[in-house]
Chains A and B, each alone.
Chain A
Amino acid sequence: MDARILQEFRAIVGDSGLITSAEQLHTYECDGLTNFRVMPLAVLLPTSTEQVQKIVHVCHRERIPFVARGSGTGLSGGALPVANGIVISLARMNRILDVDFPNARVVVEPGVINLEVTARVSPKGYFYAPDPSSQSVCSIGGNVAENSGGAHCLKYGFTTTHVLGVEVVLPDGSLVHLGGKTLDAPGYDLSGVFVGSEGTLGVTTKVILRIVKRPECIQTLLAAFPSTREAGAAVSGIIGASIVPAAIEMMDNLAIQAAEAAVHANYPNCGGLLLVELDGPTAEVDALMEQVDEICTKCGGTEIRVAQSEAERAVFWKGRKAAFAAVGRISPNYIVQDGVIPRTALPRIMEEIERLSAEAGIKVANVFHAGDGNLHPLVLYDRRIEGQEHAAEQLALRILEMCIEAGGSITGEHGVGEEKKQMMSKMFSEPDLETMQLVRCAFDPLQLSNPSKVFPRTRLCGEKPGRYEPHPLEVAGIAERF
């Protein structure tokens, strides 16, 4: 990198905020998706919005692409650096700026860890609802980029439901406020568009979050079934009975074994395990839990337990939340997939995955957010065995194709990032993608912010001649295009 520019960056963030040495840069060459690696030119660690603005100004002037990074736990390569670009780490912007209980709002910097928000507001009985499995380490800024979900989004919604406003440094260095503390700010719902845009529209520097009052009662039921088929029938039974649980999670035998080996959650050794959590007013939860118990029994549930204490409930969840990492104990390498299907397609897709797995000789462990049809098949392989990695990749790809064919999605919560951008063409038509690119062009005409992610091809803004004509307001000099 040009020494002059490097000097300019150093002047903005100081010596301690600039990383250029190769061994330190290695830390940033990938995120949670480790099979893609790119060395950035430099990593900058700003401590304020002003610093972020100054950095982006330089990038804009010099046409240097940048990738914003939170905790680097993403599973789709969203924070993968781009060659010839820099990484802007928001890890040092980690203050909770304002906690407003009467209005149930919290204002945070992007580097604040997800679980810290709940920790801060729990003394007054509140929590921050989105709970990705990585919540003890992932950052709010990263959650905003990916529109992160978690087990409880079945009832409470995703990050986007809980973000009321964002302060954003646009790719030209200007600062804008999208949404706000009050609802329905005049104009387009740009906060809604920004959340989940995977860092391609700008850098988040502040987030206004909504917090939720903890329900009066939370009950978690664990039920063992002979296979995922019966467990799936129980899920359908619960939804069919007009019950909206806070979460319904399913694990198959391989996933159970892995979780057991890792955290000893005392799960029964069965073919299909369900975790069903209900919350709300005690009288309501008591009545509905009885119904859930009956449905599970009727569907062939063998061992059914309701957690008797907060500690037991935590253990139930520990196994589930540790499942991804735990699979490392039973397989040297694995691919985490994140497809979505209409929930009713679950039995058919499960059978199909089983068949494909047997055909390819590649094992698949299954962990699902069963309530909303979000599958996390873990495709297990050993890189040392020739051909296995390729076979595993092919199988993972085929599973995603099945999700699309079933009317679902290629990603429920991990994002498209680097990993799935080619799959976008299978899920969306060319005009669909072109339209999304138009949105991108409004935010980032030079395509500097996390370029080469999400879309299968980059599209130069203004590529289609004749599409852009100045708005009458611009002609009249009433407004300027930024």
Chain B
Amino acid sequence: MAQERSSPGGGATAVDVAWDELGGLVGAQHLRAAGPGDAVAGVAPRMVAEPGDEKELAAALRWANDAGLAVAPRGGGTKLDWGNAPARLDLVISTARLDGIVEHAWADLTVVVQAGAMIAKVQQALAQHGQRIATDPLWPERATVGGILSTNDSGALRLRFGALRDLIIGVTLALPDGTLAHSGGKVVKNVAGYDLPKLATGALGTLGVITQAAFRLHPVPPGGGRTLTFRAASFSDANRLILSMQDSPLAHTGLQARFTHDAQATVDLRFEGTAAGIEAQCATARKLAAIAVETEESTDVWQARQALWTSPDGVPLCAIAKFSVLPARIAAACEAIRRAADPGGIHWKIVVQGTGLGWIRLESPRADRVHAAISALRAEFERDAGSLFVAHRPAGMATLDAWGSPGDAFPLMLGLKNQLDPRGTLNPGRFVGGI
């Protein structure tokens, strides 16, 4: 224990005092010295605190803020390397013990959950009443509600049900000065006050720590779902197929294209609802997809985004990035990726949704080539009103801003940060423009 206390980076006395004060707030047994697994984007903290409720969390945050320490909030820790490396880091505040479902008002189709609740566990509980939060994030069995909100992670369901910003209806935020601020509520329709649930979504914990959130729910479709997969001859054929599905009255709940450097393009389409509805829609879709050939049908295809992170032979040298383009520019974006990757021998995989949001994996032993390809792609997408976010960088790659240009609203974003976190306590340096 004494050895743990003299953790790196601080004088023993100061650390001892800090240890006692913080331990007093969250309970000594819920404070520990940070280990190698606690690093945030490669930067090691000194301590990890696991408060037991939102009041303890707010108190710990306030204590750190007053002491001038930098804090990284953590949920399941699945996306800790998203964003830039923190400029400073002292304390990780984990939401692991805030993991309860506060209220599932199933007859009102709403749920209130604590931030540390694992999304898969929440979904299991909701499923008992035939309901779900209509979202399909990465690693649901490990990711927490607070984590998916802070990183604004969304999958294929977004096309039909909207992003997390459209599903969240209320939030409680712990601010660096210890304030616990509620906004929104637990009813689906509510325009009283500013929409802070949306502000917190995708803010990477730089404005406050999400301690609790309320969501609107959707029924789990009674007849399950069915997936159709089509092979397309080219990027542009795949793009045409996507646009024709989007321009149809079909009510699909998933539409994505998958491309790799060494295989043919495929387009996946998913329907959910009643058996009769699914049957009729599949028939219509097949007519619309006359330019493509239907192939095997498997629900695994919806794991393709997550599969970008997995490699059969250990961790390869790859970068993973999210890009956003207009739906009609998907083919152009994929052409750009091919142009940027092929000459350098970079292997690439793309999974792109009908919304124009896509994910790429660029794999090469030459990190410098991956770096150059990403930089070129970001410039090209930004010229075309799009963006590119780097979620994962290979070891050894030169520093590369994770976010790209925040546009002319950046001074406003900085102003907001200054209002809510004036001392730069929360995740300093990890967000856009060095926020």
A→B interface (CB under 8 Å) = 101-105, 125, 146-147, 149, 153, 157-158, 160-161, 170, 175-178, 180-190, 192-193, 195-197, 213-216, 236, 239-240, 242-244, 280-284, 286-288, 340-344, 369, 372-374, 407-416, 420, 424, 427-429, 431-436, 438-443, 454, 467-474, 478-482
Contact = CB atoms under 8 A, between A and B. Distances in A.
Contacts of A454: 193
B40 to A, nearest CB: 18
A372 B418 contact: no
Contacts of A343: 107-108
A128 to B, nearest CB: 16
B290 interface: no
Nearest to B172: A432
B403 A187 contact: yes
B357 A103 contact: no
B251 A189 contact: no
Nearest to B221: A242
B411 A481 contact: yes
A473 B434 contact: yes
Contacts of A410: 192
A451 to B, nearest CB: 15
Interface in B209-245: 218-222, 243
Contacts of A443: 412, 415
Contacts of B416: 188, 190, 439, 442
A373 B185 CA distance: 13
B419 A468 contact: yes
Contacts of A441: 419
B62 to A, nearest CB: 12
6 contacts: A101-B247, A125-B249, A213-B248, A428-B192, A436-B183, A469-B418
B424 A471 contact: yes
A287 B182 contact: no
A185 B109 contact: no
A281 B251 contact: yes
Interface in B78-133: 87, 105, 107-110, 130
Contacts of B256: none
B43 interface: no
A189 B276 contact: no
A192 B417 CA distance: 16
Tell me whether chain A's interface is mostly helix, strand or loop, or mixed: loop
A161 B191 CA distance: 13
B198 A160 contact: yes
B251 A215 contact: yes
Query: In this complex, which of A213, A281, A443 has the most chain B Cβ atoms within 10 angstroms of its Cβ?
Result: A281
Contacts of B411: 479-482
Interface of B: 87, 105, 107-110, 130, 152, 162-163, 165-166, 173, 175, 177, 179-183, 185-196, 198-199, 201-203, 207, 218-222, 243, 246-251, 273-274, 276-277, 279-281, 284, 322, 324-328, 355-357, 385-387, 389, 403-420, 422-424, 428, 431-435
B357 A214 contact: no
Nearest to B190: A409
A441 B419 CA distance: 7
A244 B251 contact: no
Given A410-B192, A471-B417, 12 more contacts: A102-B327, A104-B246, A104-B327, A184-B324, A185-B406, A187-B403, A281-B273, A283-B281, A287-B277, A344-B105, A344-B107, A432-B183
A280 B181 contact: no
Contacts of B433: 187, 473, 479
B243 A236 contact: no
Given A189-B201, A471-B424, A411 B108 contact: no
Given A186-B403, A193-B199, A242-B130, A434 B179 contact: yes
Given A342-B186, A468-B419, A182 B413 contact: no
Nearest to A480: B411
Nearest to B386: A182
Query: In this complex, which of B187, B280, B433 has the most chain A Cβ atoms within 10 angstroms of its Cβ?
Result: B187
Contact of B387 (A176, A185, A287, A413): A185
Contacts of B222: 242
Contact of A183 (B192, B355, B404, B405): B355
B415 A442 contact: yes
B377 to A, nearest CB: 14
Contacts of B356: 103, 182-183
Contacts of A184: 152, 163, 202, 322, 324, 357, 387, 389
Given A102-B328, A436-B183, A190 B412 contact: yes
B324 A182 contact: yes
Nearest to A468: B422
Contacts of A214: 249
A440 B193 CA distance: 11
Given A374-B189, A407-B185, A193 B195 contact: yes
A467 B422 CA distance: 7
A474 B433 CA distance: 12
Contact of B413 (A158, A187, A435): A187
A186 B432 contact: yes
A478 B434 contact: yes
Given A190-B412, A280-B251, A344-B108, A102 B189 contact: no
Nearest to B201: A189
Give the 4 A-B residue pairs with the shortest CB-CB distance, closest first.
Answer: A192-B198, A284-B277, A242-B219, A435-B181
Contacts of A170: 412
B434 A283 contact: no
Contacts of A147: 191, 195
B414 A435 contact: no
Contacts of B192: 409-411, 416, 420, 424, 427-428
Nearest to B280: A283
B253 to A, nearest CB: 12
B195 A372 contact: no
Contact of B185 (A188, A193, A280, A408): A408
Contacts of B423: 469
A407 B419 CA distance: 29
Nearest to B216: A372
B166 A471 contact: no
Given A240-B107, A481-B414, A412 B422 contact: no
A470 B409 CA distance: 18
